[in-house]
Structure 1
Amino acid sequence: MTRQAVTEELIREWSGGRAFDRGKVYFAQDRVEDLSVTESAATAVVDGSSVYDVRLDLADGRMWGECSCPQGDDGKFCKHCVATALAWMAEAGPLSVPEPPDKISDEALRTFLASQEHGWLAEELMRAATAAPMVRARLEVAAGAEAKNVLATERLRRDLALSVRIDDDETEEWLDGVKAAFAKVTDLSKAGFTGEATELAEYAIDLLAGVAEEDRFLVHQALAEAGRIHLAACSDGHPDPRALADRLVDQALATGTLFVDALPGYAGALGPDGLARYRERVEQAWRDLEPDPAGDPPPTAVLLRERLAEHEGGADGLITLAAGEPSSRQVLRIARVLAGEGKDGSALEWIRGGLARFDGEVALNDFGLDVDLRTLGAECLLRAGDQRGAVEFLWPVFIDSPSVRTYGMVAEAAGAHWPRWRERALTRLSEKLARYQTDHRFNVLVEIMLSEQDSEGAWQVARAGGVSQDLRLRAARARGATHPAEAYPVLLEAAEAAIEEKKKRQYAWAAQLLAEAQLLAGQCGHGQKFDQHMAGLRAEHKAKSALRAELNQARLP
């Protein structure tokens, strides 16, 4: 069986940059205690802000971590897991993860169950019912109990109402509570109680729609999740199709956002009768519009009509609907549908026509349209084998809107020819950014180089100035892997800046930076110099008891 080697790069990927950096310091400070390892698991105690129990397991293609800290409770591979993983690697040598084992297929399992004795099956079902409440509920309803009594749907309704209530402003904790309530509705749907799940999802959508009029990001996230639950329940349960059509159209017209993209997702649940009713309602909404239906943004009825035309007639349906002079938005949608139908040549015709027609106004009136059209055009050209044409199509996107994303798009299009284009791209970008007068004008150049793991290039740009402190710190950390003597002074400067904020949270951040700097200083033989720096820092800030506590917690001299 193929096995994947565990590396520091993989541990960083599992944990994220900040948790990895902090965990690496913890490991260097010998905070991992009572380490016990086997071939596939490790346990340890990590001395952090408190004492935390950690367990690591190698399984299913990766290393899994459990920790008693708050982040570990959320299922994250925290800094304590990182420290333990590094200690495990140091003690046991190279580690590897087996690929996930093959599982018995549903068909094979069904065949096995069909051949078993009834008594054995009954005992296994009772055991499963004890472990899984939804299995128990299904069996009780099958045995004659009323679903509403078994499922306690009224209590679930109250839970939903309480979870979506917002006093001041939504928070991540609020969204977590909403998702926890939604999970119970999902369980109902997966267990086959699709009617109850559909009703509860609609109830949640109605509640959230009442507080979503303001531009609240997390509320819209919750609405999207409720919509996914509703679609799954409707697709599996097939509610009354005409009533579903009415609800989808009514909700879309009332909110301007919900269920506007109901097709093609709900087509199966609607069926022929529901689609006929949906078409009837959409056409009526179109006829009820005021005389000028081409507003910006377009009325919801216009969007619904376009989605319906696309669903029923594909690109041809959209083209017929947009007869005359289609808007820039319609041009993009038609091109996308044509490309999706495998008609790249026709899509390119629409894209080139749109770029020519809307040149000079698309960036102003349709944010991102030029990028979207050129990106789609490049995809069509690449499928036709025209790499050079694809790069030239995307080049204005990168030059006009330089970012890691647009740079990556050009690099991907160039393929094996990228080294020749790369030097030209970075030179043009450097020249353009040098003309800016902003303090952080070279940020995007450093971000691009870091995304390519060009730590040398990122460091040379960052040390010359014109970048934010955060990016200079990121470049220094990358540089520290090979040149710790050059990197650790930057961490010292960042720590000093954090201390000047005179806030407890910033003191903790400063202590973390100083701990990282201590590790780098030791690697380049500057340990004594670092100790002298810390003595001076403690003397200068001796009145700051909160800072002293953080420095002591970080085990700094």
Structure 2
Amino acid sequence: MAALRGLRGGLPPFDGEREAEHWVRLREVVRSLCEQAKVGRADQAVDYAEQVVDVLCSAAQQVTGNAGELPELMQRALAGHALACRRSRPDPHRLAGWLVRLQLNYPDGPEVVLSEYAEALGPEGIAAYRRTARRACRELPTVPFGRTPRYDRRRWAVIRLMEELARFTGDVDVEVQWLATDLSTPWQYLRIATVLEDAGRTAEALAWVERGLVATQGSRAEVRLVDMAVDACLRLGKTTRALQLARNAFRDWPGLDTYLKLRTVADRADRWPAQREWARRWLRAQGEDPGGSSVLVQILLWDSEIDAAWAVAAERGCSDRVWASLAAERVMQHPEQVLPVYRRLVRRRIAVGGPDHPTEVAELLESLGVAWEKAADDGRAKFHRYLEELKRECSGNRALLAELARRGM
């Protein structure tokens, strides 16, 4: 107690000459605390421990020199306090209040682990701790979508407090509450919905996803929210709503992935043929947009409608990547048709360049060679003449020539 009395009035500023003396006094205080918590009167040890922790936390705000030992001292002091509490069983409401105030007043202080206080707090103390923590969390302003969250000391302290409470109690409402203080990104809505879904609270998860869809309109991450919303709707038997969401997703982000998601939902509702025709009509209505054409070609390829896919690509165009896929599907039946496609793709890929272009060009040339052999009796000879001419034109492209040589071309 004598060591503590010398520190109760606060520590003088740490300076070079007196710093060693301060550390000696702090170590003595912590040593005496741990000893009293083990063998002294438990009720007195609790009061003593709380004073020691307060002194150390105050000291942490004053130290400017080597403070590396201070966090360890604070944690040892708090461990002594937890031991004294287990021995004395103090008033659970008072203990809960002290633990919350410690964390809010000293965000850089020792880490409170609730499992070490569970016995002393009991159900009544845990409930009081939960009420106080949730009240502090309600006071935090919510970071809206699109804003950059700023974690000041108070916000950081409250979030850490709530995280530990949720971890210890497994309370889903506590976890959702602290997660909901930051709605700045689509992923926060997903995190909240996932927590609720994992707890079997599908309806609430869907409500959060719906909120996220409203907040994040226009964001690519909305696709993930739609996926979760569709799955939740199907589990809840809301097939019509699931189908509406899947259609919206396909319209907003047309692609093979959203098309297949639409098919999955429509199959569940026995409405796939109508939805398939709707999706194709919608894509055709996009005019000469290359992106829409590429998606339509991909879809027709997926549905094994090769001739229809070729007709769309020939009429409206599509991306080089999709042309390559289409040519690979058509080369066996109509090799003469894919020859100009592969030659065009080779030229474009060489012009684009890039670190991967030697490999990609070589692969296209291999496919071109197969097509030429199947298209004409002298196809191999024609391909080799074409290849030699191309190599002369690309004589300065050492990476490409090396890749061709490696493949025996």
Partner of 1:538: 388
Partner of 2:336: 485
Between the aligned partners of 2:189 and 2:352, the Cα distance in structure 1 is 51
How do 1:218-237 residues align onto structure 2 when only pairs under 5 Å count? none
For 1:412, which of 261, 264, 276 is the aligned residue?
264
Q: Per-residue CA shift, 1:149-198, capped at 9, x if unaligned?
A: xxxxxxxxxxxxxxxxxxxxxxxxxxxxxxxxxxxxxxxxxxxxxxxxxx
1:494 to 2:337 alignment: no
Between the aligned partners of 1:489 and 1:535, the Cα distance in structure 2 is 16
Partner of 2:246: 394
Partner of 2:201: 343
Equivalent residue of 1:342, what SS? coil
Partner of 1:317: 174
Q: Which amino acid aligns with 2:284?
A: S
Between the aligned partners of 2:317 and 2:162, the Cα distance in structure 1 is 47
Partner of 1:294: 143
Asked if the contact 1:463–1:472 (Cα under 8 Å) also holds between the matched residues in 2, the reply is no
Between the aligned partners of 2:198 and 2:355, the Cα distance in structure 1 is 54
Q: Which amino acid aligns with 1:535?
A: R
C-alpha spacing 1:527/1:328, structure 2 compared with 1 (3 Å): same
How do 1:106-505 residues align onto structure 2 when only pairs under 5 Å count? 272-273=115-116, 294=143, 296-299=147-150, 301=156, 304=160, 307-308=163-164, 310-311=166-167, 312-318=169-175, 332-352=190-210, 354=211, 359=214, 361-363=215-217, 367-368=219-220, 370-415=222-267, 417=270, 418-432=272-286, 434=287, 436=289, 440-451=291-302, 454-499=305-350
Asked if the contact 1:511–1:551 (Cα under 8 Å) also holds between the matched residues in 2, the reply is yes
Equivalent residue of 1:467, what SS? coil
Q: Per-residue CA shift, 1:447-479, capped at 9, x if unaligned?
A: 444455554444333333442223211221122
C-alpha spacing 1:323/1:494, structure 2 compared with 1 (3 Å): closer
Asked if the contact 1:388–1:414 (Cα under 8 Å) also holds between the matched residues in 2, the reply is no
The more displaced of 315-324 and 466-475 is 315-324
TM-score after normalising by structure 1: 0.40
Between the aligned partners of 2:177 and 2:393, the Cα distance in structure 1 is 76
Q: Per-residue CA shift, 1:500-528, capped at 9, x if unaligned?
A: 5689975664444223222223234x141
Q: Alpha-carbon deviation of 1:303?
A: 5.6
Asked if the contact 2:331–2:338 (Cα under 8 Å) also holds between the matched residues in 1, the reply is yes
Q: Which amino acid aligns with 2:346?
A: A
C-alpha spacing 1:552/1:347, structure 2 compared with 1 (3 Å): closer
The alignment covers a number of residue pairs equal to 278
Q: Which amino acid aligns with 1:381?
A: C
Q: Which amino acid aligns with 2:335?
A: P
C-alpha spacing 1:538/1:429, structure 2 compared with 1 (3 Å): same
Q: Per-residue CA shift, 1:198-225, capped at 9, x if unaligned?
A: xxxxxxxxxxxxxxxxxxxxxxxxxxxx
Between the aligned partners of 1:419 and 1:540, the Cα distance in structure 2 is 47
Q: Alpha-carbon deviation of 1:348?
A: 3.6
Asked if the contact 2:143–2:183 (Cα under 8 Å) also holds between the matched residues in 1, the reply is no
Equivalent residue of 1:538, what SS? helix
Between the aligned partners of 2:358 and 2:192, the Cα distance in structure 1 is 55
Asked if the contact 1:387–1:413 (Cα under 8 Å) also holds between the matched residues in 2, the reply is yes
Asked if the contact 1:381–1:390 (Cα under 8 Å) also holds between the matched residues in 2, the reply is yes
Between the aligned partners of 1:509 and 1:402, the Cα distance in structure 2 is 26
Between the aligned partners of 1:309 and 1:382, the Cα distance in structure 2 is 33
Partner of 1:192: none
C-alpha spacing 1:510/1:369, structure 2 compared with 1 (3 Å): closer
C-alpha spacing 1:304/1:410, structure 2 compared with 1 (3 Å): farther
Q: Alpha-carbon deviation of 1:272?
A: 1.9
Structure number with the higher helix fraction is 2
Between the aligned partners of 1:510 and 1:327, the Cα distance in structure 2 is 43
Asked if the contact 1:391–1:413 (Cα under 8 Å) also holds between the matched residues in 2, the reply is yes
Q: What residue ranges of structure 2 are gaps of 5+ in the alignment? A: 1-75, 80-102, 120-125
Asked if the contact 2:372–2:383 (Cα under 8 Å) also holds between the matched residues in 1, the reply is no
Q: Which amino acid aligns with 2:275?
A: W
Partner of 1:184: none
How do 1:29-40 residues align onto structure 2 when only pairs under 5 Å count? none
Q: Per-residue CA shift, 1:334-377, capped at 9, x if unaligned?
A: 4433322223234344545x26xx73x5226xx35644443323
TM-score after normalising by structure 2: 0.52
For 2:378, which of 520, 523, 528 is the aligned residue?
528
C-alpha spacing 1:458/1:537, structure 2 compared with 1 (3 Å): same
Q: CA RMSD for the aligned pairs?
A: 4.8
C-alpha spacing 1:317/1:487, structure 2 compared with 1 (3 Å): same
Q: Alpha-carbon deviation of 1:399?
A: 1.0
